[in-house]
Structure formats: structure tokens, C-alpha cells
Amino acid sequence: MSIQSKLIVMLLMSSIVSAAVIAVVAFGTGRELSTVSSARWLTQLRTSQERAIQAEFENLTTSLVSYSSSTIVVAAAQLFTAGFDQLANATIDPEQQLALVDYYTNELIAPTERDTGVKLDIDAVLPSSSAPRYLQTHYTVAAAADGDAATTDDSPEGRAWSAANTRFDGYFRDMVTRFEYRDALLLDAQGNVVYSVNKGFDLGTNIVSGPYRESELHDGYEKALGANALNFAWITDFGRYQPDLGAPTAWMVAPVRSHGETYGVLAVPLPIAKINRVMTFDKDWQQLGLGATTETYLAGPDDLMRSDSRLFLEDPEEYRREAVAAGTASAVVDEAIRLGGTTLVQPVPGAALRAAQRGETGIITAEGYLGMREMQAYAPLTVPDSDLQWSILATKDNSEAFARAAWFTRRIVLTTAAIIFVVCLVSALAARAFVRPIRRLEVGANKISAGDYDVAIPETASGEIGDLAAAFNAMSRSLRIKEELLTEQREENNRLLRSLMPEAVMERYRQGDETIAAEHHDITAIYADIVGLDEVSTELSGDELVEKLNGLVRQFDSAAESLGVERVRTLHNGYLAACGVTTPRLDNVRRTVDFALEMQRIVDRFNGRTGDGVALRAGITTGTAVSGLVGLSSVAYDLWGPAVSLAYQMHSGMPQAGIYVSAGVYEVMGDTREFTPAGTIVVGGSEQQIWRLSERP
């Protein structure tokens, strides 16, 4: 018998049936009245917003038709088209071409990859024909360089287009500012963008065959160009527009026509700011008595918003928390915050939207896109002069929708509190029997929180308690297995750290020391590089070069380990190592010289196997040094100081391959190895004698 059944029996035995019936009836009546009132109000709100947004679309299309049929726009289309055609054979010099490539790389390719992770092919978007290359070089790139979008061009090739731009640019800018468009485009009858207010990446491109032919602008252009009706305008749905770095963009288009002849198409982005002002009541929710949770929004057939979320506009960080908690992917929320709105980003699936998409109108209570139960009034949105299949929803959280019912419920609760108190006393006696197995679970949970994963709860009870005990034991076993896996992972991490730095340094790094450094006296340092490897690399592929270099470095590492020499780092062709840093050694000079000879043998064997003519050039010196970790996101172990600096100077100052040693090394090894003078180097303002190891391995 389940816990719920046992509690019901106890409540029936407590003789409170009459009070419970009264409470239930009163609560149901109050909630029903509150539901009807809220539903009626929310439906009226949705209807009002539907009319307002339809009126806004009508105003926008009327204004666009008025502009597209004006004599000024007709003249502009003719002159811009003529100027564009004159640029068919226009040329730009190599320096301008390089500037255009850099502009695309820095302003389109890099931002797109940073924001979306998509790596664009520059050859796919870079203008390939003369006219767009010329216009974007002289206007797009030039405007970005000097901040003047009204840049002019007086060259013979571009004089006609420049004259049209000087004449009409101010007119179109005034139109863009007045109606809050992000841009305005003129397209000729072949699909070329012959003019753009912003002079962006789409200037001069062909919307039919160019890089942006898959955009909604192409569909709207084809619709407008093929229209035969008078005063025609068309609105497309939202889509990601690549020239605007993927910003959600819907287009309003109208043919530029005069006396029955079509000269092109006028296209402007749908002003989402105006749509949002209507749908968000210009953010005056509280002043209009809409409470803290009421909102209206638009949604498309892809279940994505076509207007902005109220919570996003009020508090983006709170929106982030609630949307992610409700199941929206964090990447989607980050994208909305990056774009500054939820249009075409925030998914709002649900029964209400699906019903609206089927053409139905009504109201239901369901979970909203922020995870709250809410009342939702829905309907399909009809927008003339478009093929938009949008829906409009008005929502209100249940906490507000049923506020009156909650107040009435509190009164009922106070009235029946005395009876329920008696019931609680009776129930408490019986509850002890039920709580006993739960307490065992509590004890087990405390042991797990203390790190004891071997705990097991007796599975003696039946019903839900028995199921819970079984689930608890399964959880305990799972945690024990995961703890073992974490231990293995920690050991693997330690192994990786040991390959990057000495163990003593690793322990300090794991403890969180911000500055890790140590001074070393009487150590021997060697800095070597592989002479001729750069020349060999020109004849190899990347994989072949890395394979050869990796083979050499691995043999160097093996030789260093066998001789007690500690590799510090490798950089390009260079190899820095030292002896006596972590483990002091009395014979560190001899070990380092032997290591250099072994490196020379490794290089000779490499040449014999591959036929390459690379050679080893190394500098060995003894003295003091400082070791430590540097960097934040990419930590590196390194060695500095007089010994390292002198070894590098000796190596870099010798034009020929070979093993060069300082006077200190020569004094120690001069009796056991053959050396010849190799000149001097200047260190700290004084000359020091350098010796070259004569013997070959």
C-alpha cells in the first residue's frame, strides 16, 4: 500500500470530510471565476496587439510603396544602374586588392568565426567581378578607414556612380533614419545591388547569382521583380543575413517602376525596433497595468520568436538564468545576448503555438518558454502582402493570472486551520512508522556526503520507500565507480604535468602558487639548434616536417634522460636543456658535453638515414640561472639567467655548426676533450674566449 493511500485512509479516519468538501468547492468556484476573467482579459489583449501589429505592417508597406514609386527613387535607380554598368571593366591596383582582402578577413571572416564558429571561405564571399570590387574598394573599405560613409570617387571610371551617390545618398539616409531601417538597397533588373546606404559587404554583389543568393533578400527580390500589380510591396520572413554578420533580417521589397517600366527593386530591412515597440508596449508594461509577467510576442513556423522577450529586455542576466533552467541551450541564450534580442533565436514551442500554426484561435494553460506555467492566448497572424506564417501569443504567469483565487484560497485555509491541526496531530502518530525508513536514508545520505560510498540501505520496505532505497543503493554504487574514475583521471593529469615541468614545481603549481621560481648555482646549460632544417622544410609537407623534427626531439629527450640532463623547452629549431637544476650533480659539465656529443651523433644518424645535410650548433656554459613558470592560460616552464643567456649568445654568435663552450667549461673539460679556440664574444661589455669541441663522436 503506497504512502499516499495510507495518508488518505488516516485523513478519512480523522472525520474532516465535511471541512474538506467545503474547502474544495469554494476553491474550485473561486479559481473558475478567476480563470474566466483572466482568459477574457488575455484574449482581448491578444486581439488588440494583433490589430496594432497589422496596422504597423500596413504603414510600413504603404511608406515603402510611396518611396519606390517616387520620381527621385526612379531617377536614382536609373543613374546608379548606369554608373554600375560603366564599372564593368574598372580595375583596382594590387594594394587596393590587398586592402579589400584584409577588410573581409578582419570585418567578416574573423567576426563570423568568433561568434558562430563557422569558418567562411573568403573566396566564396570576396567580390570576383570588376564593379563590386571597385565599389567596395572605393566606398566600403575607404569608409571604414576614414569613418566617412559618403566617400566620393572622382576617377573617370567611377565618376558616374559617384555623382549619383552624391546626389541621392542624403535622400536615402534621411529615409533610413526616419523609418529606423538598418539599411536601404537599390537592385537593378539583373539582381545587382547598385546602391547601399551602409556601403556594406553586399554593395555591388548580385543577389541572384552572388554569394548571398540563398538569403531571404533573393526571394523578396524575385517576388517584387515579377509582380505586375500596382502599388506592390512584399515582406519576407526573418533569416540570418551574412553581410550583417548573421543578424536576423526580414526584408521589405517593392519594385521601382514608372510608366509601366520596371527599373529595379527597393529593399529595406524590416525595422524590428518598431515591431518590438508594438509587441512590448514600448516597455511600459507596469504603467499599462500588465503586471510583472504579461507579455505578447510573435513566433514563426520554425518555433522561433519574431519579436523580443520581455524578460530579455528587462534583465538579460535573469533571462539567461531562467531560459537555461527551462531547457534552452546555453549557446542559444549566448547568441541572443550577443545579437541584442531573441528574434530568430529563442525557441518557443508548445501546444499553443502548434494550434496557432494550424490556424486555430484560443487560450490554454501550459508551460512557457521560461519554464513557468502560464495562461496563453494564441492566434495565427495575418499580414497582407507577405507569405508570413507567423503566430501571435499573449501570455501571463499563473501566479498572476490566479492571484485572486490564491487570495480566496488563503481565506479558506485560515478557516479550516483548526480542523487540519487536529488531523495533523492524529497523522503524526501514524507518520512515525512511515518516517523510520526515511531516517535510514538520511543517515546513508550523510555518510555519502562525508565520502563513504560503501554505504547500503536495507531494502526491506515495500512500495515507494523500497523503490527509493533501491535507487539510493544504485546511486551509492555509481558514485563509488565515478570516484574511482576521477582518481584515475587525477593520476593521468599528474603524468601530463610531470612531462611539462619538474615534480617539485608541479606540486607548487597544483597548490596554487602564483609565482614559482628557484635560483640555481653551478649548473650547466646547453642551447642547440638544427642548422639547415629551415632549408629542408621548404621541400617537405607539414606532416613530413613535423614527423622528422619530432623524431629528432624524441631522441634528444631520450639521450638527455639517460645522461641526467633536464630538457627545459624547445622553440622552433632550438633546444634548451640544463644539468644540475633539479638534481645537483658534481659532474654536470661532463654530462652536458657528453649530451652534446650524443646530440651530434643523433643528427649524423638522421642525415645518413634521410640524406639531408642538417647539422648541430650548440653553446654550452656553466654558471647561475633562475627557473620558474610563466603564463596564465598556457603555462610554460623556462630557465633564465647568465648561464642561459651566455649559452644562447655563444650558439647564435657562431656562423658554423659545432659544439662551442665557454671558458668555464673549457677549464673543466680541457684535459679530457680536444678543443680549439673559436674566437670571442662580448658579454656585459667584456670579451670572453670561446672554444670549439674538435673531436667528433
Q: What band does 148 get if pLDDT is binned at 50, 70 and 90?
A: low
Using CA atoms, how far residue 86 sits from 75, 76, 519, in Å, is: 17, 15, 73
> Do 247 and 348 fall into the same domain?
no
CA 15 to chain centre: 62
Residue 4 has pLDDT above 60, yes or no: no
CB contact at 8 A, 680 and 687: yes
Residue 373 pairs with which residues in a beta bridge? Answer: 367
> Do 575 and 688 fall into the same domain?
yes
> Do 567 and 546 fall into the same domain?
yes
Percent helix, strand and coil across the chain, each to the nearest 5: 50, 20, 30
**463 occurs within a structural domain:** no
Mean pLDDT (whole number) for 112-129: 90
The residue out of 404, 437, 454 marking a domain boundary is 404
Each residue's pLDDT tens digit, 276-317: 999 999 999 988 888 899 999 999 999 999 999 999 999 999
CB contact at 8 A, 53 and 391: no
Q: From CA 289, how far away is CA 360, in angstroms rounded?
A: 28
Record the cell numbers describing residue 444, joined without a space.
Answer: 546513508
> Do 247 and 308 fall into the same domain?
no
At 628 the pLDDT is: 75
At 494 the pLDDT is: 64
Each residue's pLDDT tens digit, 460-489: 666 777 777 777 777 777 777 777 777 777
Record the cell numbers describing residue 66, joined without a space.
Answer: 510611396
> Do 161 and 201 fall into the same domain?
yes
Q: Name the burial class of residue 478, with classes exposed (0-12), middle (13-18) and buried (19+) by CB atoms within 10 angstroms of its CB.
A: exposed
**420 occurs within a structural domain:** no
Q: Would you say the pTM of this structure is higher than 0.75?
A: no
> Do 107 and 89 fall into the same domain?
yes
Each residue's pLDDT tens digit, 571-601: 777 888 999 888 888 888 999 999 999 999 9
- Spell out the residues 6+ positions from residue 566 whose beta carbon is closer than 8 angstroms to its own: 502, 560, 577, 578, 579, 581, 582
Q: What is the CATH number of the domain that holds 383?
A: 3.30.450.20
Q: What band does 567 get if pLDDT is binned at 50, 70 and 90?
A: confident
Q: Is the dihedral of CA 651, 656, 659, 661 positive or negative?
A: negative
**320 occurs within a structural domain:** yes
**133 occurs within a structural domain:** yes
> Do 254 and 309 fall into the same domain?
no
Residue 405 has pLDDT above 80, yes or no: no
**509 occurs within a structural domain:** no
Using alpha carbons only, what angle is made at residue 418 by residues 417 and 424, rounded to the nearest 5 degrees?
A: 85
At 517 the pLDDT is: 73
Number of domains in the chain: 3
> Do 290 and 212 fall into the same domain?
no
> Do 679 and 560 fall into the same domain?
yes
CB contact at 8 A, 587 and 523: no
684 residue type, one letter:
G
> Do 230 and 349 fall into the same domain?
no
CB contact at 8 A, 333 and 321: no
Q: From CA 168, how far away is CA 73, in angstroms rounded?
A: 8
**53 occurs within a structural domain:** no
Domain that includes residue 282, residue range: 274-404
Q: Which of 552, 597, 584, 588 is nearest to 570 (CA)?
A: 552
Q: What is the CATH number of the domain that holds 522?
A: 3.30.70.1230
**488 occurs within a structural domain:** no
The residue out of 373, 404, 435 marking a domain boundary is 404
| pLDDT cut 90: percent of the chain above it | 46
The residue out of 248, 270, 292 marking a domain boundary is 270
Q: From CA 275, how far away is CA 281, in angstroms rounded?
A: 10
Maximum C-alpha span of the chain:
114
At 323 the pLDDT is: 95
> Do 279 and 264 fall into the same domain?
no
Each residue's pLDDT tens digit, 350-403: 999 999 999 999 999 999 999 999 999 999 999 988 889 999 999 999 888 777
| pLDDT cut 70: percent of the chain above it | 84
Q: Name the burial class of residue 263, with classes exposed (0-12), middle (13-18) and buried (19+) by CB atoms within 10 angstroms of its CB.
A: buried
> Do 564 and 627 fall into the same domain?
yes
Using CA atoms, how far residue 212 sits from 104, 123, 139, 246, 611, in Å, is: 15, 13, 20, 11, 52
**134 occurs within a structural domain:** yes
Other C-beta atoms closer than 10 Å to the C-beta of 439 total: 10
